[in-house]
Structure 1
Amino acid sequence: MIQVVPVDTKQQLKAFIDFPHELYKDDPNYVPELFIAQRDLLTPGKHPFHEHSTLRLFLASENGKVVGRIAAIQNNNHNKFNGTNDGFFGFYDVVNNKEVTTALLSAAEKWLKEKGAATIIGPVNFSTNETCGMLVEGYELPPVAMMTYNKPYYNTFISEAGFDKKTDLIAWRISNDNYDDKPFRMTQILRERLSQKGITIRQANMKNFNHEVENLNEVYNKAWDKNLGFVPMTEKEFSYMAKDLKLILDPEFCLIAEKDGKAIGFALCIPDVNQILIKVKRGRLFPTGIFKLLLGKKNINGIRVIALGVLEDYRKLGIEAVFYGTIIQKCVEKNIKTAEASWILEDNFLMNKAIENIKGKPYKKYRIYEKAI
């Protein structure tokens, strides 16, 4: 008999975080999440999400063994910004048993209904600002940094539970042996044209990191605000994310566009640390994982273009092309083999076309589902 219980103790939280390690132990493409990071993310008082919203974690077990997990998420900032009564599910993992999904979703939907939700959307962990989407195409390669991964049968179970597609998210792959170098060749000309308009592009100043983060938070919340499902990040949320990224950030891959000294856009690439984390057993940095992380950083040969955006009034001036051209140049200099641009909404035609124009290939697709409750 399948039993679903809320997570109330530290021991249950540990079981919740560790369940995927057992589920995917024979999957060569599985990358474990770091235990410390997941624990803090899910613990009130640790992550700033909990200051404005709530969630409930559930574990499913059968004959004393954990067989699934899910989080029911009430994101108050999302509902306030979008004028909706949405609920969300995330951190969803199950054994190959449809009944487990049914039981978990039932628990999550019941909790969300009690909170006044009319719709359940997912998977998102906690919003589209964090990891989200269910992999539906592209199982041949491991996920890159801060992207999701799941068994193919997850999609079958979610669809059979009455969920419909809300949107798809595209991941593009750009290889160093097959890209269009036109943006790279045009970079200097475009920089000069932009300079005549008072627009400059520079790399991040790590010595003034907190000030940079403050300015980029404002740009992020304005440049991405029309994306489907967007919710502005609070200063604390953006700073929390930036603090984590600072540990791995290469400032040459963090580019800022300014107009008369004021930030109007930015591009952020991060090294694909999943190339290392895939070898860190059960997401534990100690006792040996920390050495794999430190010693392996120099061998990372991939990046993820995690964000690239410009304020609406300054689009189509060539800023985006300079971002791409500079990124290509740095990849060549640093012997980066591949770059993933992700994720991009399927209906973001301008951005998708721009990546297609530099010979990027769509190689993974993620789906966000929704259902009325």
Structure 2
Amino acid sequence: MKLIEVDSKNLEQAFLKVHDHMNRGNPNWIKPLDKDVLSVFDKTKNKFLQQGEVIRWLLQDENGVFVGRIAAFINRKYKNKGDKGPIGGIGFFDCIDNQKAADLLFDKAKQWLAERGMMAMDGPINFGDRDKWWGLLVEGFHEPIYNMNYNPPYYQNLFEKYGFEVFYNQICWSLDVANAENQLSSKFYESHANYFSDPDFKVKHLKKNKLPEFARDLSTVYNKAWAKHEGNKEISPQHALKLFESMKPILDEKLIWFTYYKEEPILMWINLPDINQIIKHLDGKFGIWEKIKFFFLKTFGKNRNFVGIVFGIVPEFQGKGVDYYMIV
């Protein structure tokens, strides 16, 4: 077996196809859009490349078949609590069920990172924000949401036998909203009854014709609820408005909710339709024909899934059941 650095368009396409090959037989796998993966390695689209480094390799067997891939990267701003030194990252790992093959990929990434002063190797993670391509799937192999990692179950064994240990568990919960009344505990309805009768509290969903107003509300709640957490920054109303504008093509007004106390925003819940339910019909492409198909399926098809993007409640109202009131 030999390792080949990805340094051409042809090898970049091979890099994409390795992931397809490892997952193609799984009926729940959804092929990611090629453009979403490639944007991670594009200096014009990934801001982290301005101060970081990235490299990709393919693993080729004796018959010339590509049987694995991996990316290694250095994000100078990436830190984990309790770190004793700089940490490098790996991601976009795919490999046949062969420990020797996996070790070759891990060793190559480890060597590259060590040569650049990294003291540890974290992965699989994204060379960018944590809302994409983050973590190793070890349980719940149902259809992934948009830009969520998906891998065969045997990957856990490849990582653990090499020496990787769990840093933290990232858990995704789901709920059948159509039957929510049968799944929510009574405390949700008790809280709802208490706040519903109080005229100082009200709940409303987003209106597309009032985006600047809701952008200000998002900024207010986020900055109070999240901005002081490690690694987070404040969001200005202008930035929040840009976020809403970027969501417009898929935004559903009744999936974005805010709660107010005496007209001041105190709680938000931002959800979006899961566009992976459309993307699974596009085979990874997003050219003119796929965009037309996307629009048609979005407009006339049925999307039964939505996904939570961010939930926030200002500190003075945390633990008081206001979130239960809003959810009901």
TM-score by length of 1: 0.72
User: Is the alpha carbon distance of 1:202 and 1:67 closer, same or farther for their aligned partners in structure 2, counting shifts above 3 Å?
Assistant: same
Residue number in structure 2 paired with 1:360: none
User: Is the alpha carbon distance of 1:254 and 1:54 closer, same or farther for their aligned partners in structure 2, counting shifts above 3 Å?
Assistant: farther
Aligned length: 317
Pick the aligned partner of 2:183 from 174, 179, 182.
179
Q: Partners of 1:56 and 1:274 in 2: how far apart?
A: 27
Residue number in structure 2 paired with 1:330: none
Residue number in structure 2 paired with 1:275: 277
| Aligned-residue offset at 1:299 | 0.4
Cα offsets for 1:248-272 (capped at 9, x unmatched): 2213212234567665542121212
Cα offsets for 1:165-195 (capped at 9, x unmatched): 11212222212334227536754642554x6
2:114 is aligned with 1:113? yes
1:203-222 alignment runs, 5 A limit: 203-207=205-209, 209=211, 216=218, 220=222
Structure ID, larger Rg: 2
Further displaced range: 284-293 or 213-222: 213-222
SS in 2 for 1:104: helix
Q: Partners of 2:71 and 2:224 in 1: how far apart?
A: 29
Cα offsets for 1:61-114 (capped at 9, x unmatched): 223322111121222222298765222211111122222211111121122223
| Aligned-residue offset at 1:292 | 3.9
The 8 Å contact of residues 213 and 239 in structure 1, kept in 2 or not, is answered as yes
| Aligned-residue offset at 1:152 | 0.8
Higher relative contact order (CA 8 A, sep 6+): 1
Q: Partners of 1:241 and 1:115 in 2: how far apart?
A: 35
The 8 Å contact of residues 217 and 233 in structure 1, kept in 2 or not, is answered as no
The 8 Å contact of residues 308 and 320 in structure 1, kept in 2 or not, is answered as no
1:314-325 alignment runs, 5 A limit: 314-325=317-328
User: Is the alpha carbon distance of 1:257 and 1:85 closer, same or farther for their aligned partners in structure 2, counting shifts above 3 Å?
Assistant: farther
1:321-360 alignment runs, 5 A limit: 321-325=324-328
2:300 is aligned with 1:301? no
**Equivalent position amino acid for 1:132 in 2:** W
User: Is the alpha carbon distance of 1:278 and 1:174 closer, same or farther for their aligned partners in structure 2, counting shifts above 3 Å?
Assistant: same
Query: Mind listing any 5+ residue stretches in structure 1 that lack a counterpart?
Result: 326-373
Residue number in structure 1 paired with 2:60: 61
Residue number in structure 2 paired with 1:19: 18
Q: Partners of 1:191 and 1:242 in 2: how far apart?
A: 28
User: Is the alpha carbon distance of 1:323 and 1:133 closer, same or farther for their aligned partners in structure 2, counting shifts above 3 Å?
Assistant: farther
| Aligned-residue offset at 1:163 | 0.8
2:111 is aligned with 1:100? no
Structural RMSD (CA): 3.4
SS in 2 for 1:76: coil
Residue number in structure 2 paired with 1:167: 168
Q: Partners of 1:323 and 1:272 in 2: how far apart?
A: 21
Q: Sequence identity of aligned pairs in percent?
A: 24
2:88 is aligned with 1:87? yes
Q: Partners of 2:64 and 2:212 in 1: how far apart?
A: 47
Structure richer in strand, relative to its length: 1
Residue number in structure 2 paired with 1:266: 268
TM-score by length of 2: 0.81
User: Is the alpha carbon distance of 1:216 and 1:123 closer, same or farther for their aligned partners in structure 2, counting shifts above 3 Å?
Assistant: farther
**Equivalent position amino acid for 1:190 in 2:** Y
Residue number in structure 2 paired with 1:73: 73
